[in-house]
Amino acid sequence: MSKALPTVHILYENPAWLPPLEAALEAEGFPFRRVEVWKGTIDTRTEPPEGIYLNRMSPSSHTRGHHESVALMREWLLWLEAWDRRILNGSRAFELEVSKLQQDLVLNRYGIRTPRTVLTVGKEEALAAAKTFDGPFITKHNQGGKGLGIRLFESAAGLAKHLDSPEFEAGPNGQVVLQEYIRSVQPLITRIEIVGGRFLFSMSSSTISGFELCPSDACHPTVAESNVCPADGSAMFSRSPVTGDDPLVRQYLELCRGEGIEIAGIEFVEDAQGRRYTYDINGNSNYNGVYGREIGIDGMREVSRYLKNVVVPALESGIPRRAVR
């Protein structure tokens, strides 16, 4: 008789993103439970339930009314780690998830090219930083998610006008990041999906309609099969030629191993000279179902198989639970 699989505790704030994950866990035979991270109680002397904890918290939680979630998640992860619970994307991975500045620092530490990045707090400081950029730049929230709040400016004068408008919003903690704009030959970014230290697939996303590029089906309910992977590259999501043998992908894998990131969607853009600039590490990765069917890979099913084939045997063998340094 086979041994029962451990319960997977899903730490989350957006229920709309959960059905594909839950279907995949169920297909692999895992019992699971949802754990809301926008309310609750943490008693440091109370032992958390046994099982595997899966971090599904998003930096964009505040846009759904869950302003408490990111800060509460930090406490949850530290509590779970204190009790030596097995977590996918624990506290170190989560700190990178919620800070564009920290992402830039760690990417550079692994020798990965990034756009020039400056964090500012305050309108005067943002404008002063803008004047130091030689060309166009974008602004974004340091704690971002889904590309929300990203704007392109050709000059500091354009930013000055925006800062004085009612449309300006500094985002969580008032931290605004200014980042060098990389002009690509085609209006595309490339996203590399990684699960358990393994390259899963690459995908191109069109920026023609803006920078809100979350691949989740829940974020794009009107995207039809015909809007994915056309030969002319006009799709919202389309095939990318990047493979696991690519040197940049190997650098991403090294970074994920070194920083304890087990699930990641890492994005880069290529300029006219063929230089690739990495600008985002998504720990709470979602997968587009239509694109997945096109390439024959179900991202959430791969996450569930990683749990079953790698994480569970490691736990049963007594291998240290934490995937962090």
Query: Domain containing 269 — which CATH number?
Result: 3.30.470.20
pLDDT grade for 186, boundaries at 50, 70 and 90: confident
**Domains in the chain: how many in total?**
3
Range of the domain at 228: 97-114+184-297
Cα 240 → chain centroid: 19
pTM of the model: 0.89
CA dihedral (76, 169, 267, 303) positive or negative: positive
Residue 234: predicted pLDDT? 44
With a cut of 60, say whether residue 238 has pLDDT above it.
Answer: yes
Query: Domain containing 25 — which CATH number?
Result: 3.40.50
Residue closest to 188 by CA, chosen among 239, 135, 124, 263: 239
Do 104 and 240 fall into the same domain?
A: yes
* 3 belongs to a structural domain: no
Residue closest to 66 by CA, chosen among 123, 143, 122: 143
Do 126 and 110 fall into the same domain?
A: no
pLDDT grade for 208, boundaries at 50, 70 and 90: low
Do 137 and 195 fall into the same domain?
A: no
* 40 belongs to a structural domain: yes
Do 13 and 54 fall into the same domain?
A: yes
Instruction: Give the residue carrying structure tokens 């045997």.
Output: 313
Report strand pairing: 175-180 vs 137-141: antiparallel
Final residue of a structural domain among 180, 211, 233 = 180
With a cut of 80, say whether residue 236 has pLDDT above it.
Answer: no
Do 140 and 170 fall into the same domain?
A: yes
Mean pLDDT of 12-31: 96
Residue 233: predicted pLDDT? 41
Do 103 and 81 fall into the same domain?
A: no
- CA geometry: angle at 197 spanning 191 and 202, to 5°? 20
Report strand pairing: 52-56 vs 86-88: parallel
Question: pLDDT of 26-69, one tens digit each?
Answer: 999 999 999 999 999 999 999 999 999 999 999 999 889 898 99
Do 232 and 287 fall into the same domain?
A: yes
CA 179 – CA 100 distance, rounded (Å): 10
